[in-house]
Amino acid sequence: MATPTTEKKTLTFALMDAPYENERTVTALRLIDIAARRGYNLTVFAYEGAVSLAFAKQAPHANAVHGRDAAQEDHPMPRDWIAAVLAVAEKNGGKIDWINCGLCVDERGVGEAIPGTRRGSPADLWKAAEASDNTLVIGTR
């Protein structure tokens, strides 16, 4: 097993899955969280359905079948997970440049993203990959 390096690394992750659809999103955010806790500098390029992960208007809802209101249901919001990993990175001296593909955003009408994320283009993914120690693409199947 490799010994964790204390050197500050730069990694890029490309995510493609829409929220609530696949466990790959959880795995991706677990990886980003681990790297953020190490203070690495990270670029996350969200494209296709993944641009909805940071959509600011995701709303928690009640569950009438189980008789729970929205607070009791405590529905997980991917936008909150992203805000959490952004905060973890900052706390540990690193940073996350979270880029939502603008073409994909426009197609889906999810232009209102949470603070700390930004709009970009596929060219940003290329630039980030060029500047990174490594890149992991987690594509939809």
Partner 1 sequence: MEKYLFIESRDPFESRDVEQSYDLAAQLAREGKTVTLFLVQNGVLPARKSAASAGLEKAAQAGVQILADGFSLRERGIGEGRLTAAVKPAPLDVVVDQLAEGRKAIFF
- φ/ψ of 11, rounded to 5, equals -125, 150
CB of 9 to partner 1, least distance (A): 4
Residues 6+ apart with CB under 8 A from 63: 72, 73
- Report the nearest approach of partner 1 to the CB of residue 141 (Å): 8
Instruction: Considering the complex, state which of residue 38 and residue 79 has its C-beta at the smaller distance from partner 1.
Output: 38
Report, in Å, the least distance between residue 38 CB and partner 1: 7
- The binding site for partner 1 (CB under 8 A) comprises 1-5, 7, 9, 11, 23-24, 27, 30-31, 34-35, 38, 40, 133-134, 136-139, 141
Strand-pair partners of 136: 13
∠ CA 72-80-98 to the nearest 5 degrees? 165
